[in-house]
Structures are given as C-alpha cells and as structure tokens.
Structure 1
Amino acid sequence: MTAQPYRVLARKYRPQTFAELIGQDAMVTTLGNAIKRDRLAHAFLLTGVRGVGKTSTARLIAKALNCIGSDGQGGPTIAPCGICEPCIAIAEGRHIDVVEMDAASNTGVDDVREIIEGVRYSAVSARYKVYIVDEVHMLSKNAFNALLKTLEEPPPHVKFLFATTEVNKVPVTVLSRCQRFDLRRIPSDTLGAHFAMICDAEHVEAEPEALALIARAAEGSVRDGLSILDQAIAHADLDGGGLVTAVQLRDMLGLSDRGALRRLFGLVLKGDGQGVLAALAEQHDLGVDPAAVLRGLLEIVHATTIHKVGAPNDPAQSVEERNALKEWATGLSFALLHRLWQLLLKGHDEVAKASDPREAADMAVLRVVHASTLPDPADLARKLESGVAIANPAPNAPDMPTLPATFEALIQLVEKAGKYLIAQRLRDEVGLVRYAPPEFAIRPSRPFDTRELGQVLKEVTGVIWQIATEDAPAQPTIREQELAAEAAAREAMLAQPVVRAAFEHFPETELISWSEQRSATQ
C-alpha cells in the first residue's frame, strides 16, 4: 500500500455540511428558510475577509441544491446527506454540472463567453447547473458587461455563486442582480474552541493560551488560524511529547508576551524612561518586531478604553489581563487614553517607515512616557480658568513654584514687583509667539534685552526662564489688544438704538470712555 500524502489542516477540515460551518449562523438560517419556502435566488454573492468560508459556502450551497438524499428521492435541503452521488462528486470537485472558475486567472470576455454558451444547455445529471466564480472582482469591465444579461435572466436550471474579498470592486449592476451574504469574521473564542476540537481529532496536545494566541493571530480567519496551527504542531518539541506551548508559539511567530507588554505599559504610565528602554531592549533581543510592540501597546490602550466604557469582556482574555485592564480603566481618564492612542498610532507609523525601526520605537515610546506624565487636560483647563498653571514636574522631582498661566499675568507679576519700565515695554512693544512657562518666545518691535528680562523673571518667580526672540507670526501686543477691545466696545455701543437716536437728535454729541473723562477732569 502506498502512503497517503499529508493534507494540511485547512483542507482536511474544510466544512462538508452547514453544521460544520462556524460563525455564519445568520446566513445559514436565511438559506435554510429560502430552501424550505422554495424562494431561491438565481445568483448569490458571498463576500468577506480571507479564510471565513466563502468558497466552502459556495460548494455547500451547490450540495444543498443538488442533493438527492440517500434514497435518491430527496430535494433541495439545508442539510445535504453527503452520501449521495451528487454530494460526493461535488465534495471531490468532479461533478460535471458544478463548474468552478478562478476569476483571477480567467479575467476576459472569452472566459465569460464560455459560461454564457454553457448556460443554454440543461444540467447533465444534477438538478441545477451551478457556476462558482471565485474572486469575481478580478473580472475585467468588459467581462462583467458581457455577463450582465445572462446574470439578470438566467435559465431556471442555472445558479450563479460569486465569491469575493473586495466587494467594492464589483460593479453595482452586478450587485443589484445578486442576493448578497456578508460572511463575518469568526470571534476569537469560537476559533479557539474550533482549534481545540481539531487538536483532539489530530491527537495533539496544546495549551489553552497557545490556542488563544493562534485565534488572535488569525484575525477572524479560519484558514489563517489552521495554517498557523499546522506550523505550530510541526514546531512543537518532540522531546516534550509534541505539546504546543504558548512560549514556542511566540518564538515561532515573533509575538511579544502579553505579560511583558502589560509590564511595559505599566512602566510607561509610571514615567520610568530607563525601565521602558530596558523592556524594549529585552523585546528586541527576543526577536520581537518593534512594530509588533507598538501594536501590542495600541491593543492595550484600546482594550482599556473599551473596558472603561463598560463593554463585555473578551472571552480570550486571561484573568490577569482582565484585572490589569480594570485597574487601568479606573485610574486613567478618557482624555489621557485618547492621547496615548494618538501618540502610539503616530509612533507605529514612524516605526513602519523608519530606516532603523528599533531607534524609532525607542523614541516613540519615550514620547509616550513624557505624555503620560503630563497633567490631565480637564485639570489643566480648571487651573487655567483660575489664572494659574503648574509647571509639569518629572516623576519624584521636587515641587515647582506656581507660575503665571498667561503672558499678561506674567507682565502683571513683573509690574507688581516694581519693574515698571520692563513691564511697560512688554505690554507695548512685544508680540507673543508662544507661551509655555517657564519658556516663551516673543517678537519685539524694536531691540529687546532678553538677558535682563530673564534675570528679572528669575527674581520675581524663582525659576530660570528660557526666552527666545523669533521672527515668526505673533499675537498683537497687549496694548494693541486693549485698543482693539476698546474700539470693538465703542462700535458695539454706537450700534445701540438708543445711542444712535441720541446722535441723531444731538449731532454735536461725543462718545468718550471713562478713562478719557477722568483724564479731562484731572
């Protein structure tokens, strides 16, 4: 006897009945009801990401339509018997009335013309002649146009089954002629249970955590997951009894340990720059892709935010992971979580494009470390409303003095200290470029001695200030702002109906400010 060639798990465990098709209950229910009520469409479009069962579903529909039952007297059914000649021939891919075409390699009008000519002839031995077109979006525009008329009014003995991963590339004229089914991604817990069943059938032992890692890496695709499982079984240490472990799987896929990622995220939140760099170096030594580390941190931020909202827990999460997410969701605000997400997302893009991904990852995560130690925006807004802002200290640094929240408040502080000339020049001659105490940049209208100003500010606030003069767009001076405010108030007053009436009756009336009146009386 010759040895049978090995069949990969993705082919060996391809579903042969709708009961074996996991994660698509809504579609199965719809098809079952359509068959029972004899309301079958003449064309079906199956769409979804790779590996969710589009081609398998198309073959199952072909079986369901042509099954004759074990006694040869059956009709269309959602539960094909699998033992009649049509079921066996369709499963083996040799039924003459079930034609499969790969549109990726048959894209032209001539290929479609063969279908158009073939539909005129009745099925040879089956109830329906079924055309399965995989990756239908690859057909050319002319090929689609040639198929339209036949697709709209096919003979009653013909059924079309189209499968595609990119439904947006299928013309609307084709979509309107088909009954569409969107096959869903398979949830991680469902995939994990499915892989565990296959391991039992293959007499392979696997750690639950390893199966959970495979389910996450599969991203909802059964075929991707089975391919990874196949590789993991081959990678398993034979000296250990062939056990598929999470440690071996991480080494095989270059995945980062979830626990290590949680520890790294904790270091980020503590502002421990040295600890963060050491953790990143450890991941690099283990062969983990820097981009994968950033993706893992993004997943943690996303999971924490979802947990804070109150969404149900992911069944694939461990108890330790759930406890950590609960703690972070309680202690972190939405504003900080969104800020961390944006910074990590930007860092991930930088790592993907960088010539040295490791260096880019270090800089990106250190930037996040700095952001995580900044005050909460809501607290900062409250401080600004009160007229003061606290300089952001580093972790474990001594307390910093209170600094003026605005440039105008800083000028008032200088004036209160008796430095009237400098305060007047700051008010009349300086446009503010930016202000972030203890640092700011100005654009003076005439030469300004920033060293003298720095000494004054150090005396007044007790802090060393960084002052720069820049030829950049700046705000109007404080004096110009005051004059503009007075002009706006004057215009608003003149626009009042009572004031306008007064000017109409008393043409010689003048509108003067309180300060002008006080100066006149003095």
Structure 2
Amino acid sequence: MSDDSTIQDGAALGDGPGFQGLDLPRAPAPAEAASATPYRVLARKYRPQTFDDLIGQDAMVRTLRNAFSSGRIPQAWILTGVRGVGKTTTARILARGLNFLRADGSGGPTVDLTEEGVHCRAIMESRHVDVLEMDAASHTGVEDVRQITDGIRYAPASARYKVYIIDEVHMLSEKAFNAFLKTLEEPPPHAKFVFATTEIRKVPITILSRCQRFDLRRVDASLLTSHLGNICAREGVSIDDEALALLARAAEGSVRDALSLLDQAIAHGAGAIDAETVRTMLGLADRGRVIDLFEAAMRGDAAGALRELRDQYDSGADPAVVLSDLAEFVHFVTRLKIVPDAANESSVTEAERVRGQAATVLPMRVLSRAWQMLLKGIGEVQSSPKPVAAAEMVLVRLCYAADLPTPDEALRVLRDNPPGGAGAHSNVGGGGGGGARASGDGGPRGSAALSVASRTAAPAPSARQAAAPAMKLNRFEDLVALAADKRDIAMKLALESDVRLVAFEDGKLEFAPSPNASPQLAGDLSKRISEWTGRRWVVVLSSEAGQPTIRERQAEQERDRLTNVQAHPLVRSVLEAFPGAKIVDIRDAQPEPEAPEDEAAPDPTYDPGFDGFDDEF
C-alpha cells in the first residue's frame, strides 16, 4: 500500500490483478441503479409532452396550430375546465412551443414538437429560468403580482419569451387582479401569460377580455377507456374491458383521476385487474345487481328491493353509491328510449345494453318520476346519520310510487267513479267527517281529498288492473304484451329471448328453453302468469326444437331488410363509391294514401264559407 501510483488511479484499485488492498464499495450496477429510482405515479409518468399527446382536446389543438402557423399569437391565454383535463400540462406545452429552439439555433414558435429542443426538457420539468409558474391559491395578494409586473420589464435570460403560468388564477384577490390589468393589456413583446382555472366565473370580465379563452372538455369515456388500455399494455398489466369501463366512468372525464384510480387498481389487484376488483376498490355495486334492484323497484316489489339493497350493503357497497348507480341506470334507460343508438356506446356493458333495452317499455313519466325521487333521495342518504336506513326509505317510496296511477289513469277513475256518488260519501264519511270537509273545501286540500275518496270508494280497480284477470290470452304475443303492461321487465325479456314456442292456448304454454334460459324459467312463468290472470296456468317444457324466439325472429327480419336494401342498385352504387361505408339505419318509406277514384280531388280555391253573393249587394 506504500505505492502511491497504485492507489491514485481508481481503475487500478478495482481492476489491478492480485490487488489485495481495502475492500472499497463498488459503484452500483445499472440494474441496481434502476431499482433505486423512486416510483413515479402514472399521472406523472404518462403526462403529455406534446400537443399530440393530449387526448380529447382536438378543437384547442387545431386553433393553436392555425394561430402559430399564421403568426397570430396572442399575449395571453386562459385555460378553463374541470380538474385533471390537462390545463397545467397544456400551459407547459404552450411555453415549450413558444420557446422551441434547436441546438443549431434554428426553429421558431410551433406546435409540432416531435423533436426535443434546447429548452424543452427544462420547461416540462418546471425548472426553466424564463418560464415562471405561480400557484395563485397560495400567492393571492397584490405583492405577489407586483413581483411579476416589476420583473416583466427585463428580457428573458436564454429563451425567446418569458412565459408566466398562473394556476388557479381565480384565487387572486380583487386588488391583485386590478394590478394585472395594465400589464396584461400591454405587455412587452418578450412576455406571454397563460392562466389556468377551474372556476372561470370567478375571474373578472376585465381579465377575460384581455385573454384568448380555451375550454378544455371532459374526455369522452370511450376515449378514456382506450387511453387506459394503452397504458396498461405498456405497463404489462392484465385488465379486462369491463374494469376499464368502470374506471373511466368513475373518473368522470378527468384523465388524472382515471390514472390515479388505475394506479390504485394495479396495487389492489397485484397486476391482474378484473371488474370485481375495481368494484371492491371503489365500493361500487355490481351493475347486474343494480339492474335487479331497478327491476324490483319498477315492479313495486318493496320486499325484494330492500333485500337486494341489504345484500349489496353487506357486500361493502355504499348506499349512496347504490342509489347513484340506480339513478344512472334510470337515466340510461331514458336515453335509450329516446336515442336507441346509446346502447352502442363503448362504456355500456352487455347486461346494461340487453336489460336496458327491455326496460324501455316503461312509460316516460314513470322514468321521470323515478329520477326525481332518486335525485332527492341521494341527498337525504348523504346527509343522514344512518345512510342505509335512509336508502331503504327512498326505495320504499320508489316502490310504492311505481304502483300509483298515472295522471291519465287517475282521470279515468275520476270520470268513471265521480266523487259525488253515494259510495264515495259513505266511505269517506266513516273517517270522522273528513268527507264533508273535503267536499266543502275548494282549495288544493279539497282536491286531494276528493282524489283519495274516489280511489278509496271506487268499487272497481283501475283499468290496467281490471283488464288482466278478465283477459283471455289467445296468442303468445298477448302474454308478452301482458308482461310489458305489468312492467315486469325481467319476465318480458325472458319471454322474448328464452322461450322457443311449441304450443300455446289459453291456460297452457309449451316451449323449449334457449341455451341461456334460467333453469327455473318454467316455474317462474307458471307462477307469474297465474298471478296476472287470476287462474292456474300449465307451463310445460318440451323436447321439441320449437319456433325461433321473438328476438331471433326480429334479428332475422332485420338481416333480411338489410340484404334487400344492399341489393338495391342505388345503395350498391353508393357502397361501391365509398369503400368502408356502412348502412346504420333503415327506415320504411310510408307512401301517402291515394284518394279513392270515385272521390274527386278537392278544389284548392274552394272556400266553404263563401256563398257566392254579397249581403249588401
């Protein structure tokens, strides 16, 4: 060890043959250094670096591209939108595009950032001396703004522009905003401002008028699902489509929230994520069980609805979340009733698509009433000290409201059983003279009492209830219509999709079940039809193949219609002229009825009120 030349060279220390010196620690191997790198969450790891990386903001990118290419670059922008859609990230990319410069000194303001410039990395890492970021939530005073206005006079140190990024700008005080006005209206040519806010209404109009505004939209669920799927593929994580749809739906259009939830799901599922893992993590109820709850409520089955809610609650579901999911399904069925193409959205599961289409038999007024009750009930559950009890009471109200008469039915009962009849007075009068007070009151209370009296005194049930026991079912289609009239969505769906009819007569149904039919379908049908008609029905399972189901026949008819349309010369020529085009809608042309030959067409100049003479002539 006395040889100084041996210990002066670090390489000789570690590599010299036969060296018996001190055992000094070696530099970590590349793999060890990589493992020591701290973990970066997905929201930071996959933060967009260019305008092409931004998803769901095509309108803004197109406007900026045109502005940069034509040289019409404003002095200030304001970016607004919900949390996590990319406001701060867009501001940094804007600063990068404004100061883009290649190593050889070429380049100018651009939105095409495929290559990395001299200042790009420092700007995106928020450490460039000429790109100043300020959080207005913690720097709200006029002194903070005065520092900006004082320093803006000096030219940038190395970049083309000084860029001031002010996040949550709506948090500035009134005096701070006023201090900004003059500088923002007439800044020096080397300065640019980028403001970001989630509360655009709190920004004074004097500030807004001096900025070019961009509204960053919520990212569509289908686009967000695809984005999450790509990130999972790059991370080597196995995840199914339903789990991706649940994460995208829970994020509500926020990319950052979606990535944070995905990060949590990866840790929760240990690399393999399915829908059940995501539901457990988020405290969500199974979508199929939510639909079961919806069907029980629309059937008026209060006991079944409460039992289903309690089962979901025992499984870990939050009562407020269950009601929110229930309201979301009511909204989906309403949309599906108005816009049938809503069933083809990528975020819609197969169970929602099939059972939602079956639920469209419900009247619009019933769905609207259910939505209003759930919307009010969610607030009650969130503020209640006993959420599950409040949720049960909401479901009870919903179930009993499902059995209430609709306005047209109430009017029909009032017309057929006027409240002034003897039966009405006798029934209401037994309640301590309430009938006399109701008949004498001309206000709303009197109208309500008369309505209750008419419903109580009516000797016959409503038209819908009275028709079912007396109805003679001559065709299988009559049975399907009866299920729809009873609002039994599950049974109507089973009759259309799982019953291959062999024989049908009044009092007897013989059918062959489809492969997907429930094993208890025959027993359920026998019990339900007997309840509907008030007499015993025989339901028999047959070994014969049976006729195609209603859904199969409808699908076959649709295929035939599509084939006929495609065979039309005009349609065929259009499809040949536009490769890849598809027929998405087929509508039957309804010709106008022709006038009978023995009836002359009316004279358009004929006036039936003109007798041909002037009275004063």
Q: TM-score range by the shorter chain?
A: 0.7 to 0.9
Match of 1:320 in 2: 351
Decide which of 317, 320, 323 is 1:294's aligned counterpart.
323
Q: 1:196 to 1:99 in 2, by over 3 A?
A: same
Decide which of 328, 347, 350 is 2:380's aligned counterpart.
350
Q: 1:101 to 1:427 in 2, by over 3 A?
A: closer
1:39-68 CA-to-partner distances (Å, cap 9, x unmatched) read 011000000000000000000101111111
2:333 counterpart of 1:304: yes
1:249-306 CA-to-partner distances (Å, cap 9, x unmatched) read 1111101111110111011111111111110111110111111111011101111111
Q: Is the 8 A contact 1:210 1:245 kept in 2?
A: yes
1:432-466 CA-to-partner distances (Å, cap 9, x unmatched) read 7342566489xxxxxxxxxxxx9xx7xx9599xxx
Instruction: Specify the code of the residue in structure 2 equivalent to 1:176.
Output: S
SS in 1 for 2:119: helix
* Unmatched tracts of structure 1, length 5 or more: 389-403, 420-424, 442-453, 464-522
Give the Å deviation of 1:377.
2.3
SS in 1 for 2:272: coil
2:284 counterpart of 1:255: yes
Count of aligned residue pairs for this structure pair: 416
Q: 1:186 to 1:461 in 2, by over 3 A?
A: closer
2:407 counterpart of 1:407: no
| Alignment RMSD | 2.5
Give the Å deviation of 1:413.
8.4
> Normalising by structure 2, what TM-score?
0.64
Match of 2:108 in 1: 75
What is the distance in 1 between the residues matched to 2:439 and 2:101? 94
Instruction: Specify the code of the residue in structure 2 equivalent to 1:322.
Output: R
Give the Å deviation of 1:353.
1.6
Match of 1:22 in 2: 55
Decide which of 136, 156, 178 is 1:145's aligned counterpart.
178
Match of 1:365 in 2: 395
Q: Is the 8 A contact 1:273 1:369 kept in 2?
A: yes
Q: 1:94 to 1:364 in 2, by over 3 A?
A: same
1:84-141 CA-to-partner distances (Å, cap 9, x unmatched) read 2111221222211111111111111111011101111111111111000001011111
Match of 2:194 in 1: 161
Q: 1:299 to 1:462 in 2, by over 3 A?
A: closer
What is the distance in 1 between the residues matched to 2:316 and 2:252? 22
What is the distance in 1 between the residues matched to 2:58 and 2:318? 37
What is the distance in 2 between the residues matched to 1:412 and 1:324? 42
What is the distance in 1 between the residues matched to 2:451 and 2:117? 82
1:494-518 CA-to-partner distances (Å, cap 9, x unmatched) read xxxxxxxxxxxxxxxxxxxxxxxxx
Q: 1:255 to 1:461 in 2, by over 3 A?
A: closer
Q: 1:369 to 1:436 in 2, by over 3 A?
A: farther
Decide which of 223, 244, 247 is 1:214's aligned counterpart.
247
Q: 1:39 to 1:411 in 2, by over 3 A?
A: same
Identity of aligned residues (%): 51
What is the distance in 2 between the residues matched to 1:166 and 1:221? 16
SS in 2 for 1:85: coil
What is the distance in 1 between the residues matched to 2:420 and 2:381? 41
Q: Is the 8 A contact 2:162 2:192 kept in 1?
A: yes
Q: Is the 8 A contact 1:43 1:179 kept in 2?
A: yes
SS in 1 for 2:156: coil
Give the Å deviation of 1:308.
1.1
Q: 1:462 to 1:326 in 2, by over 3 A?
A: closer
Decide which of 93, 105, 111 is 2:144's aligned counterpart.
111
SS in 2 for 1:99: strand
Q: 1:146 to 1:380 in 2, by over 3 A?
A: same
SS in 1 for 2:273: coil
Q: Is the 8 A contact 1:411 1:426 kept in 2?
A: no
Match of 1:223 in 2: 256
Q: Is the 8 A contact 2:237 2:272 kept in 1?
A: yes
What is the distance in 2 between the residues matched to 1:428 and 1:321? 47
Q: 1:354 to 1:71 in 2, by over 3 A?
A: same
What is the distance in 1 between the residues matched to 2:356 and 2:79? 37
Decide which of 284, 295, 316 is 1:266's aligned counterpart.
295
Q: 1:129 to 1:431 in 2, by over 3 A?
A: closer
Q: 1:411 to 1:280 in 2, by over 3 A?
A: closer
What is the distance in 2 between the residues matched to 1:12 and 1:412? 74
Match of 1:235 in 2: 268
SS in 2 for 1:408: coil
Instruction: Specify the code of the residue in structure 2 equivalent to 1:296.
Output: D
Q: Is the 8 A contact 2:424 2:453 kept in 1?
A: no
Q: 1:223 to 1:426 in 2, by over 3 A?
A: closer
Match of 1:186 in 2: 219
> Normalising by structure 1, what TM-score?
0.76
